[in-house]
Amino acid sequence: MKVTINDVAAKAGVSIKTVSRVINNEPSVRPVTRKKVMDAVEELHYHPNLAARNLAGTRSYTIAFIYDNPNAYYVIDMQNGILEACKARGYELLIHPSNSKSPDVHKELEDLVEHSKVAGLVLTPPFSETAEVIDTVRKLGVDYVRIVSAEAADKDEDNCIQVNDSSAAYELTRHLLDHGHKRIGFLCGGEEHVSTHGRLDGYKRALRAAGIAAEEGLILKGEYSFDSGVQGAKTLLQSTNPPTAIFASNDEMAAGALFAARLMNIDIPGQLSIVGFEDSPFSRQTWPKLTTAHQPNNEIAKCAAALVLSKARSKGASESGSASKEAGIQRSFTPALVQRDSSGPAPE
């Protein structure tokens, strides 16, 4: 027999309305009462019908994840992190891939908010870093949180989860400099991503701190893809004065650079060091494994979802006369250096 909300109320010794408030994560419930209800929910294996809740009330219990990223590992990490936060708070997730370069993207967002009845949006780059998209979302009046490179965040904005790409890139470049490398190539990701510019900035700052001028010939434009890494590495390594190290803007590009070096019979790291960024599975599937910067995408996504849900719940609570604000949500992340076997001393 299917367990109902009535069964939970009877088990916990509270009213049906109180069970509803707990399941809806409303703040006006005492901690002791909330625990009794959740214990009853767990013991009875009660699963509320979230779709029915969305249809029955004026509040929505769904948030949307908006992305345009070809890296499946990134998308999966983000999706899992958001799902974890949603499940903990009784919400569902709508996954919405989109083309950020499409002329219809603004209409697409308007239709999504209007027809899908979402409580909030988690925006990832490049959507989260595009002024026109942010203006559209603001006009729609829906709660949102932006996952952005720190360089794209406004100082007074309270709805950003920031990733400090520049500081992490500085440390990666410093790692190569400390190993004696002076000619370090840099493979840029897509220009539409602020992270690309942040990582390039960190690279240049580290060179300046070491008294080395950044050479434009060592900095190549590209995309966040394996093929772009292959092509960029070939261009650098076939030059008359090739670098002794390559900094690729993400691990997928770094894996491509490693592949290109292998085709050219270049020993890694004996003749060439290669580093990536993000610590995705690409960094652990190559041989040798890639030195990189660990970017905790799952945790970043979980914090973004928790923040947008906190905003949505606070709005609902304020409408009923009691607002709350979820504390302790990490707002800033700096990817940390992970040293593996693809980097080593500069060749003599």
Taking the whole predicted model, whether its pTM rises above 0.85 is answered as: no
What lies within 8 Å, CB to CB, of 311 at 6+ separation is 120, 143, 145, 159
At 253-299, the pLDDT tens digits run: 999 999 999 999 999 999 999 999 999 998 999 999 999 999 999 99
Specify the CATH number for the domain of residue 43: 1.10.260.40
**CA angle at residue 56 from 41 to 7, to 5 degrees?**
25
223 shares a domain with 131: no
Span of 171-180, 279-288, 338-347 with lowest mean pLDDT: 279-288
Query: Is the confidence at residue 244, as pLDDT, over 60?
Result: yes
| 348 lies in some domain | no
283 shares a domain with 183: yes
194 shares a domain with 138: no
| 224 lies in some domain | yes
| 65 lies in some domain | yes
| 174 lies in some domain | yes
| 186 lies in some domain | yes
320 shares a domain with 243: no
Q: Is 80 helix (H, G, I), strand (E, B) or coil?
A: helix
Q: Is 58 helix (H, G, I), strand (E, B) or coil?
A: coil
278 shares a domain with 188: yes
pLDDT of residue 153: 73
262 shares a domain with 231: yes
**Per-residue DSSP letter, 266:** -
Structural domain that includes position 269: 165-295
Closest to 199 measured CA to CA, from 236, 125, 250: 250
At 57-78, the pLDDT tens digits run: 445 678 999 999 878 889 999 9
Rounded CA gap, 245 and 64, in Å?
Answer: 40
Sheet of 245-248, strands arranged across? 219-220, 184-187, 245-248, 273-275
| 265 lies in some domain | yes
176 shares a domain with 154: no
pLDDT of residue 323: 38
At 114-143, the pLDDT tens digits run: 777 788 999 999 999 998 999 999 998 889
Rounded CA gap, 267 and 197, in Å?
Answer: 30
Query: Is the confidence at residue 175, as pLDDT, over 70?
Result: yes
Q: What is the mean pLDDT of residues 327-341?
A: 91
| 53 lies in some domain | no
Whole-number average pLDDT of the chain: 87
| 153 lies in some domain | yes
Q: Please count the structural domains in the chain.
A: 3
Dig out the tokens for 13 from the structure.
């010794």
| Helices assigned H by DSSP within the chain | 5-12, 16-23, 31-44, 50-56, 72-89, 105-116, 131-140, 165-178, 194-209, 226-237, 251-263, 282-285, 297-319
170 shares a domain with 150: no
At 203-217, the pLDDT tens digits run: 999 999 999 999 999
187 shares a domain with 98: no
192 shares a domain with 241: yes
| 324 — pLDDT class (breaks 50, 70, 90) | very low
pLDDT of residue 66: 92
Specify the CATH number for the domain of residue 107: 3.40.50.2300
**Per-residue DSSP letter, 96:** E
318 shares a domain with 247: no
What lies within 8 Å, CB to CB, of 85 at 6+ separation is 91, 301, 302, 303, 305, 306, 309
pLDDT of residue 55: 42
